[in-house]
Structure 1
């Protein structure tokens, strides 16, 4: 079937499933790059200089794939003070950073007022920094513990200075999978609801997918289908980010020791398929944080047009034993090495500087 697919038309679920199962890696790369070339004819590959600030590691959700979380009574728990957060932002500014990715565990006691004060503090003290923060489950739980609606949470945080929300917590948008790996987490409908409500008020977001746990190909296509349908409604997603489950030190690995880290081949296949299928997403981001810099670079030949963040600080993936790092200069060289043109962007994918 793959040879008959017309990339000028929307690819169906059956067609993308056939490609996933039967197309060669080379064929997928050619097709994904053809789609990318139509959207990014200028051959500009972007990245953002930011810092991931995890304001707390306290979390009641207890996802089986997470090695970062701590229960409220465990040793090593923390909530960052405003002074500690300020110090991290000052370090980011010193290297020309423009964005903070702000998220934490789902703290059982922090209410909307705490988050409003935090966002307002940052927005007023550092107006040059874009606040990209709070995943769907954080927003959902803030609403529950504060006894207000999800739209009210989003509007109040937006008024305080929140610019956009990340796609974290999507994992696989299949309740069959979610019931295994994160039974306490939002179901598919609830995750989509938070992003839909954000998009309704003009707040943009990103979309993610974590593969490599207990999902099958059909679950992956169902995930993409959910995203594509919501994007058709509001065009609220700025980018899609695919990343692989990092099993080390996680409860799921103990329960299912046969689960191993997905191969680079699998990552590139799914990345290419996401570029082919998600025709209403302009940007596809490479996940060098989980794949390493060279597979991250290779992703640019399989549909990705963005290298993501320099990730000045990363705590969640590193808790699972994966510690990749890259600075701005390294990103620029990797992009040039595949004959594309590097550019630093902001959260809105606006070009700030070309190299």
Structure 2
């Protein structure tokens, strides 16, 4: 077993490692997510809500010991009014600095803090100590052992670093387990948002496999890392701290909703007893790993989506061998072409996407609209694709021509691909109607790109509606088996829906698995997570983390890089992120 874990770790595939941890039973959906509110400063007891327990941190070195003890005593007085307060103290390295600066014994100093009311010894310096030297690592463990021996609890803080290879991690995890066996003094292991997301997930999974005696793994959820943090809930995290503030897009309702949509029950930091019905439903979760197969039925896919843990879905995916990237089209709206402008600035050697979904008004289409379109296409054979099935249908309606007549005209004008639009919904079309639209173009030797929309209540009160999504997925797969003309499938959240990152990644995975013969699974990154309650991608680092996830779970394209100006396009959003 140890050799298998080592081999899997060296593959750097966080999905396989996560799936291995699931299979061994170390974390299933039945584990509870415990929730607390982390307060960053000392506040009056009257301001503390009873809704969540609070952790109050005392300042780090270089304050002197007496000042720190005064702060701890002040917090201790607040506890009589709000018993949910817990005091998190200094790191081991700071304790040693204080002891040396004031010529005091480390154990004596820790006892002084405990008598003043300290509850926890911090562990944020763990990686620095174990990476620095063997002596620094020994110092860290000795201080925490002394703290545990007098009844103080503490935490371990883990994040990926190049200095720690597999063998070193195994050694320190074994030492953590030994110390936990002796005193049971570690409350949890925390995983700060540092390093590449795929490396963080790999470390979390490895820790779950090798650390046997610490149940709670913690992350902090805030508006800057919400998307990647939701993914971590599928890899063994069961303790979540939420930074709630006036400037944070998260509020308590949104936070609890994110937890519930990850198939967890949000509960307080204090022990929470499940009733018999809850316990039975969570303990009966099955573990699935879906294999590529030519035969998929709706009931089986529903079962897989409902019960499969996130790593199992990802492991079943055939990942793209190349880096996921934008589709590099220069996008123009049909209105721009119909406006009759003498010259339209188009970069040389760029493919063009004509977006019919941006058509403002059917009545604005003149009787010469078709001729204007043909004139624009002349000399650009093979360079242009049409985008937006509903918009194309509306364009034909305005010109009073049948789509069956329009399609061969476009074929003769050199159009080889017609795509669904990221900017318009197809939810109002029935599955048979949208399949018929694709067939019309296929019969004229024009390939198509389809679209799947995953819907859910906008307020997050329920999980995603998988039935219509899976029905349309099976219909597109059947269409491609019949015609061989579906180039790709766009997977997108439906408008006014609140889709969690775990639900979206499952949608991408199931699409890649079922539609195995369709070349591209398109995940339009800058059209994602636009639900009412979802935070946006606001940093370059979070952007890269999400790209890592999309590729790992089966995505091959990020959508059109350049959309019509002002549409909130990937180009506009990504360029603003990169420049900042």
1:44 aligns with 2:47: no
Aligned partner of 1:233 in structure 2 is 182
SS of the residue 1:231 aligns to: helix
- Residues 150-165 of structure 1 aligned to structure 2 (within 5 Å): 150-165=106-121
Alignment partner of 1:311 out of 223, 243, 259: 243
Aligned partner of 2:77 in structure 1 is 124
> In the alignment, is the contact (CA less than 8 A) between 1:345 and 1:353 conserved in 2?
no
> In the alignment, is the contact (CA less than 8 A) between 2:190 and 2:218 conserved in 1?
yes
C-alpha separation between the residues in 1 aligned to 2:175 and 2:251?
34
Shift of 1:191: 1.0
What runs of 5+ residues in structure 2 fail to find an aligned partner? 279-580
Aligned partner of 1:189 in structure 2 is 138
Q: Deviations over 1:186-226 (max 9, x none)?
A: 81111111110111112111111232354434433333233
C-alpha separation between the residues in 1 aligned to 2:140 and 2:128?
11
SS of the residue 2:99 aligns to: helix
Runs of 4+ deviating beyond 6 Å: 352-355
Aligned partner of 2:54 in structure 1 is 99
Residues 134 and 203 (structure 1), Cα distance of their counterparts in 2 relative to 1, 3 Å cut? same
> In the alignment, is the contact (CA less than 8 A) between 2:32 and 2:238 conserved in 1?
yes
1:298 aligns with 2:247: no
After TM superposition, the structure 1 stretch with the greater mean CA deviation from structure 2, 221-230 or 278-287, is: 221-230
**Higher relative contact order by CA 8 Å / sep ≥ 6: 1 or 2?**
1
Alignment partner of 1:203 out of 152, 160, 170: 152
C-alpha separation between the residues in 2 aligned to 1:287 and 1:221?
25
Shift of 1:337: 0.8
> In the alignment, is the contact (CA less than 8 A) between 1:29 and 1:302 conserved in 2?
yes
C-alpha separation between the residues in 1 aligned to 2:227 and 2:175?
30
C-alpha separation between the residues in 2 aligned to 1:50 and 1:90?
16
Q: Deviations over 1:270-294 (max 9, x none)?
A: 1111111111111112354598122
C-alpha separation between the residues in 2 aligned to 1:125 and 1:239?
24
Aligned partner of 2:102 in structure 1 is 146
**If the length of structure 2 is used for normalisation, what is the TM-score?**
0.42
Shift of 1:161: 0.9
C-alpha separation between the residues in 2 aligned to 1:273 and 1:143?
35
Shift of 1:352: 9.5
C-alpha separation between the residues in 1 aligned to 2:93 and 2:213?
25
Shift of 1:298: 1.7
**If the length of structure 1 is used for normalisation, what is the TM-score?**
0.67
Aligned partner of 2:132 in structure 1 is 178
Aligned partner of 2:211 in structure 1 is 278
> In the alignment, is the contact (CA less than 8 A) between 2:218 and 2:239 conserved in 1?
yes
Residues 299 and 241 (structure 1), Cα distance of their counterparts in 2 relative to 1, 3 Å cut? same
What runs of 5+ residues in structure 1 fail to find an aligned partner? 6-11, 54-84, 246-261, 314-322
Shift of 1:299: 1.5
SS of the residue 1:211 aligns to: coil
Shift of 1:15: 5.2
Aligned partner of 2:272 in structure 1 is 351
Aligned partner of 2:197 in structure 1 is 264
SS of the residue 1:191 aligns to: helix
SS of the residue 2:142 aligns to: helix
Alignment partner of 1:86 out of 36, 40, 43: 43
> In the alignment, is the contact (CA less than 8 A) between 2:187 and 2:214 conserved in 1?
yes
1:220 aligns with 2:169: yes
Residues 211 and 273 (structure 1), Cα distance of their counterparts in 2 relative to 1, 3 Å cut? same
> In the alignment, is the contact (CA less than 8 A) between 1:119 and 1:157 conserved in 2?
yes
Residues 135 and 19 (structure 1), Cα distance of their counterparts in 2 relative to 1, 3 Å cut? same
RMSD (CA atoms): 3.2
Residues 196 and 45 (structure 1), Cα distance of their counterparts in 2 relative to 1, 3 Å cut? same
> In the alignment, is the contact (CA less than 8 A) between 2:34 and 2:239 conserved in 1?
yes
Shift of 1:296: 1.5
> In the alignment, is the contact (CA less than 8 A) between 1:206 and 1:239 conserved in 2?
yes
After TM superposition, the structure 1 stretch with the greater mean CA deviation from structure 2, 202-211 or 26-35, is: 26-35
- Residues 53-92 of structure 1 aligned to structure 2 (within 5 Å): 53=41, 85-87=42-44, 91=47
Residues 269 and 169 (structure 1), Cα distance of their counterparts in 2 relative to 1, 3 Å cut? same
Larger radius of gyration: 2
Q: Deviations over 1:286-330 (max 9, x none)?
A: 3545981222222122111122x12347xxxxxxxxx98744323
Shift of 1:21: 0.9
After TM superposition, the structure 1 stretch with the greater mean CA deviation from structure 2, 21-30 or 157-166, is: 21-30
Residues 94 and 288 (structure 1), Cα distance of their counterparts in 2 relative to 1, 3 Å cut? closer
